[in-house]
Structures are given as C-alpha cells and as structure tokens.
Structure 1
C-alpha cells in the first residue's frame, strides 16, 4: 500500500507540475502580461503592497499577500523576519518557471544575533537572494527608487539597466549648478544633526551612542539630536524629517553594525544624500562606501586618526563654504540627475533628466506621507525584481542558492558577525 501510495503521489506531482508549467507558459506568451509577486512571508508592518508602473517600463508587476495566488505567481518572496522552515511551500510542487526569493534588509549581525536566524535549513531552496549587497541576485538598496539604474551601473550591472544612456551626459551646467547650490546653502544655518531611535536594542546601537557621547564630550562638537533617544521624536514622514534637518551641513550616518558588506541604509541615502547634507559615515568600510556612493559625496570616520582630527576638519568645512561645497560637485556627474536632492519638494527639477516622469511617479503624497516611509526603502528591490520577471529571467536562467547560511554569514568580516 505504501508503494502504491508513493507511486500515485509521484504521478499526481508530475501532473501538477505539467499543469502549472503550462499555465505559466500561457501567461508569459501574452502581451502586456503583468507578472505577479506573492509575498509569502510578510514583513512585520502592515503596508499597502502595490507597485505603480515604473516610468519607461511599459508596465509593471502585481503584488499580493494572498497565498491562494501561489500557483499564479512568477515570484514568491520570503521576508527574512517571518521566514520559518515549517511554513514554506513544498519546493517539489512549484513550477520550474517560478522563482523563490529570500529577502533581507537587516545586517547579518542583526539577523544572527537579534533575530537568532541561522539559515542552514534553507540549503537548495531559494533561487534568488534580494538584499542591499552588490552580490545579491536582486538589488534591494536603501537608495531612492528613481536611482535604480544609477546604482545598477555603480554595481557593475549595466546589462540590467533600462536607462543605458544615463551616463552619457553631465547632469547640469555650471550656471544651473551655482543656482541650485545657492538654494541649498540658503537653508544652512546649523552644523551637525543626528536622528536616532534605537539607543541600545542591538549592541551596535549602544556603541554608536557611546561614540557620539565621545564626539560631544567637553564641547568637542555640537550635535543636535532628534528621535526617541533624544526625546525629540519626528513623525514617520520623510518630508517632515527632511524639513527638520535641511538646515544642517553635516549628518551623522552611523549604522548599528560594523563592516558589514555594503550595509548603507536610509541614514545616508535619505537623511543625507536626498536631504542635501554631507553624511559623516561610520559602519560600512570606506571601500564599500566609495564603490557605492557618488564620488566625494561623504566623509568617513575612518579617514581620521581620532575624533579630535575629525572635529577639526568639520569645523574647517563649516567655516569655508568653498571647501564644503566640493562635497556637492557630484551633482554635475553623469547619471546623478536620477538621485533626488535636498528633499522632494525643495528645489527645481533638473535639466537633461526624465524628472517630470519620475517626480510624477515618486510624489510625496504617495505612500510616504501616510506614515509609510519604510515602504519606499523596500520598493527599490521590488522594482528590480519586477524587471527581472518582465525580462523572463526566472524562465531563461536556472539557479539555486546552495548554501544560504554560507552566502549570508560566511562571506562577512569578523567585525560584522561578532
């Protein structure tokens, strides 16, 4: 009886796979078909999951959290925080034209020591990884979504860009540059700001609190602090945040993990780069930051032998506008027009760009002002995933992540993991 049951199971499984494959083959031959992304393991926050069509893409993807859509989904997305081995679909019953994707936006230290996730149960299960790291199958940077092509270029993935001409021209003329710099500097009345709401939840958060205490000890530097740790909370609205900190020249972009590969978060991309502030960065290595951010757009803590030297340099820049403004010369670099600067509503659209399309797509009243700022950080990866599905890479390429634990943890530095 057991042998008969096993035989019948194999036959039924084969029929299931053939029917599912036929379904996907039919879908993918239709013009204007919108691939479907099923978020199987939902993030911890309630978010209205949808993707407006990306400018220039001639379509988009649909997102669902309804597991009954499993058989009709080209990609199944498993969010790190809620992905557990006893709550996964049977991989033997999935279509060969379906990608299982592991998704993480926290650092490996946080995944391992705070959430206590070892990943040894997931060998040979996922097809793609989706994280902020450059070696991910799907790039899910914390950068603003309109800059997707720019960062694909920076990450050496030009074959995945749709705006290949992005780097063929400077962003703006010298006259326009001076005009925008004038607008930027007209807002600068203070020196250093820092927004932080995790004071000690993870070990790295406690260490950065200690670091800032040392930076401000005996009046070495004056840092205006915002957020829960300073008892000066800011609404979960990126426009309110940028309006609050735009008057500062420097922003402390201190991560809660040290030397984790490519771990550069919204602290740098939004609070500083988008906000028109020079980030002072600590956490990722200088090499990683240099490879990812526009050239000379940041100051790295590790460039200074001690905090006194850092303070001396920041005070010098504060007193010398010519030297300070050299940190904004990247605005003129080819391709950077796609990175919004000094806020969503603070400044003109830029010449030689498709900003009219982008700003219509990326309008502030979309999901961000409704207290869903975090969604924008996730949307970058969802759009890159959507591109890969629309390009049928889930069909034309075959891959499995053989050892997720080794890929995620084994390739990291000791400073990151310990």
Structure 2
C-alpha cells in the first residue's frame, strides 16, 4: 500500500469497484449516469427566464391569432370571391325560372347579393370551430396564497422580521404572499413552525381562533418541563384555527438532533416539510437537474486535476467522539492522510480562500453525516463535495438511499469496503490512475447541482404546495413515530 505501491488485490474490493478499477483493455467503459428518482414532489430548476416565457405566451398567442386572422374588409372580400363566382349563373337561372312562374325575375344585382350573403354565412360557420383559443381563455394563474413564518429559524424570538423573498424571481413560483407579521395570522392559508424554535423556550402558539383573549405574562414566561404538560398546553393554546388554514411542521435536522419530538401533541400539524422524500412538502438539501447550459454549476465536464494538491479533506464543525463519523475517521487516518478543517477537534481553520476553494484542491472529500437516517443527505454531500468538484466519500444512509437521488458512479460509500484500510487502499489506487478517477465525474455531462437556499426556498415551496393541494383535510397523528422510523 502507498501512493507508489502496487495496486491492491481485486478480491479485497466490492465486485462493481473491482470491475471498474481494472486496467484499460480488460473491460469496456460503461456509462453509469442515471436520472435521479422523482420522489413525488415537483422540484423544478429555478429559472426566471422560463417563467417570463410562460408569462409572455398568452400575448404571443394573441398576436399570432391577429396575424392569422385577416382584417374585416379583407374577410368580406375573400367571402365575396366565391359569391361572385357562383352568384351570376345562380342568379340568372333563378331569375329565369322565377320569371317563367311569376312573370318577372329578380334583378341581377339582388341575386348576386343574396348569394354572397349566404356564402359568407356558410364560410363563417364552417371556420368558427377552427379559430384559435381566445387570449383571455388561457388557464388562470395560481390563486394567491399567504404563508406566515411564525419565527425566523435560529434567529431568536426577539429578532426583527426580515424582508420576505420574491418567490417568482428566486424560484419561478407565482402568487405567493409571504408574511412575517403575526397580526396577519387570520389571513394566512398556512403557518410554518420551525421545530428547534418551537420546542426551545416557553410555549409560543397562535391564540385560539374566535376567542378574544391574549396570552397572559405567566404563560409567556412559564417553562413547562414535563412533556405531558407541554403536550396538553399545545392542544389548549392551538384551539380552533381559521377555516382552511394549515399548520406546517418544518425541520431539517435528523431525528438524533431533534429534541422534544414526543412532546408535540397528535393531530397538531397538518403537514410536514423536511428533507424526507415522504414529507408533505419535500425540500432536500440539494438535487441534480438536467444540464441545459455549459455555465450550469459545476461548469465543465470535470475539474482540472492539476489544481488538486491534496488527497483527502474533511470539514467538521461539531466534533463528538461518540459519533460514527469520528470513529471512522480515526481508523481511516491510520492508512491515508486526511486534512481536517473546522472549529473543533484536530481541525485547523478554513483558509481565507473559503470552504469550496479549499476543498476543490483535494481529490476526495469525506461527506460524513453526524447521524445516519433515511434521506438525511446534507450540504456536506451536495455543496462541499459535488459542487466543489471533488469525489465524495459518504457515510450516512445506505448506498441504495443515495442512489435514489444521484448516479451510483458519482460517489464512494464506506459500506462498499470491509474495512477502513481497504477503503484507503482504493483511494490510493485512484490517486495513481487518473483515467479511473475521472469516471467519477461522468455525471457532470448530463446534470448540474442545485443547492437549497435556506430559508427562502422552503418558505416558497410551502406556498407552492398550498396552491396545488386539494382541500381535503389532513393531520399528523404521531409526528415522532413517523420521523424517527
């Protein structure tokens, strides 16, 4: 083993890695790009130009209709052409026949006029059904929706309300009225409650609907330590809500770092908004979308290898020796050098160049999650690794969970190896074989990376979900049981 040593034994690696790593000539390269799985919620790429194109479409249809429809005078002239062609013989025959029966006939001009009117009516009737749709008959825009953010996440309850984002400019979502003033509570179709702020500090719920009363200072200052009492307090203070209003539970931490879940009463929330694909409003930390332009991030077919000076890097902010990621780091660092950056542990401060520029100088990045749960794939994977242009080595949910969202050849999973030493040997092998290493960037030919913008994007996605949802009522009976499974 070592950067200059011989290639490790194929038998020590998983079958698909051993086959992919064999020298050239032993197998043909296979394209391993695969579209990310659609999890049930539309996640469109934010493009303001696309929305403006749709907004201009009715006007273009109207102009196209005007170009296709001749002027009124031209229409009468066109309708008169068949009338003049048919009117003279028809009028003469009718005049002669009528004259033989009545003794006198219609004037030639009157016959032509009658024929012209009849043909015009027939032409208008036959063409009416072929007219293009009227411009004002286009589908109606999404209905306006008000979404109230009860607190700004992690900002504290005493912080001033910040200016809401423009959902149309940022995420192509129209018809959103984002609210921060609690006085507009009755006007909101949905209210967002951030979990960490919800369970931290004294109870802070909307007043019961229809009851002209305010919270007392005792309730605002009293801290409920007993979970059962907190749950009863939640039910008592929630009361009846404005008709049709939805309460949305929002959380982007894993179950291991979401205290107070069991203190929340059943049927308190209508919807869930989280990174979980089975949430009512699914907002992942990031996702891949089809590449439409060379400037889409990350640009290019692959990062320049000449700029990569190091082998393995890791950025960690919360160091805890009890975590699986720290234990695995200790094992891996015995066989390969790992440069650690962060505020705690053995890490050193991130250089002034910034996190992404620092990580981009390495071939591999340890995208290790602080806990292992379903769909819990954070910015460590999407931003720190894929967007920075390095190969992620992941420790989180199992490989199948990752492959629901990214091609299997875009990352290396620690579960693919029987030990940290065998993983280290494979990383050293890739370091010596650039052609095999570059295969981990094949996904960039077809996809670009979208990084979720917190907290603007979840706010706008909640508005979009209300616009497209039916009016059928729903409530979450046991939030903890769903989220902790």
TM range, normalised to the smaller chain? 0.5 to 0.7
Aligned position for 1:277: 390
Kindly indicate whether residue 453 of structure 2 is the aligned counterpart of residue 376 of structure 1.
Answer: yes
Worse-superposed segment, 375-384 or 74-83: 375-384
Which of 357, 366, 372 lines up with 1:252 in the alignment? 366
Kindly indicate whether residue 271 of structure 2 is the aligned counterpart of residue 128 of structure 1.
Answer: yes
Kindly indicate whether residue 464 of structure 2 is the aligned counterpart of residue 387 of structure 1.
Answer: yes
Kindly indicate whether residue 215 of structure 2 is the aligned counterpart of residue 215 of structure 1.
Answer: no
Alignment of 1:1-400 (within 5 A): 34-45=144-155, 48=162, 50-54=164-168, 57=172, 59=174, 61-84=176-199, 86-89=203-206, 90=208, 91-111=238-258, 115=259, 117-143=260-286, 150=289, 180-181=300-301, 183-200=303-320, 203-204=322-323, 207-217=324-334, 220-229=335-344, 230-234=346-350, 240-258=354-372, 260-333=373-446, 336-337=447-448, 339=449, 376-391=453-468, 393=469, 396-400=471-475
CA apart distance, 1:231: 4.8
Distance change >3 Å, CA 290–CA 319, structure 1 → 2: same
**Given the two structures, how large is their TM-score scaled by the length of structure 1?**
0.66
Cα deviation, 1:195-242, whole Å, max 9, x if unaligned, reads: 011012x842xx42232122112xx1111111112452338x9x8211
Distance change >3 Å, CA 49–CA 286, structure 1 → 2: farther
CA apart distance, 1:273: 1.2
3-state SS, counterpart of residue 149 of structure 2: strand
Distance change >3 Å, CA 329–CA 31, structure 1 → 2: closer
3-state SS, counterpart of residue 133 of structure 1: coil
CA apart distance, 1:380: 3.9
CA apart distance, 1:63: 3.2
CA apart distance, 1:283: 1.9
3-state SS, counterpart of residue 174 of structure 2: coil
**Given the two structures, how large is their TM-score scaled by the length of structure 2?**
0.57
Distance change >3 Å, CA 252–CA 118, structure 1 → 2: same
Please tell me whether Structure 1 or Structure 2 has the larger radius of gyration of its CA atoms.
Answer: 2
Q: 8 Å contact 2:164–2:456 — kept in the other structure?
A: no
Distance change >3 Å, CA 41–CA 275, structure 1 → 2: same
3-state SS, counterpart of residue 400 of structure 1: coil
Q: 8 Å contact 1:295–1:330 — kept in the other structure?
A: no
Q: 1:172 and 1:31 mapped to 2: Cα distance?
A: 28
CA apart distance, 1:187: 2.7
Cα deviation, 1:326-384, whole Å, max 9, x if unaligned, reads: 11111223xx23x25xxxxxxxxxxxxxxxxxxxxx9xxxxxxxxxxxx8244443332
Q: 8 Å contact 1:142–1:380 — kept in the other structure?
A: no
Cα deviation, 1:137-184, whole Å, max 9, x if unaligned, reads: 11121116xx5xx4xxxxxxxxxxxxxxx5xxx7579xx9xx923654
Q: 2:166 and 2:397 mapped to 1: Cα distance?
A: 32
CA apart distance, 1:83: 1.4
Distance change >3 Å, CA 54–CA 31, structure 1 → 2: closer
CA apart distance, 1:54: 4.1
Considering fraction of residues, name the structure with more helix: 1
Cα deviation, 1:56-97, whole Å, max 9, x if unaligned, reads: 736253433322121121210111112149422334432232
Aligned position for 2:137: none
Q: Point out which structure has higher relative CO (alpha carbons under 8 A, 6+ apart).
A: 1
- Which sections of structure 2, spanning at least 5 residues, go unmatched? 1-139, 209-237
CA apart distance, 1:306: 0.5
Distance change >3 Å, CA 321–CA 131, structure 1 → 2: same
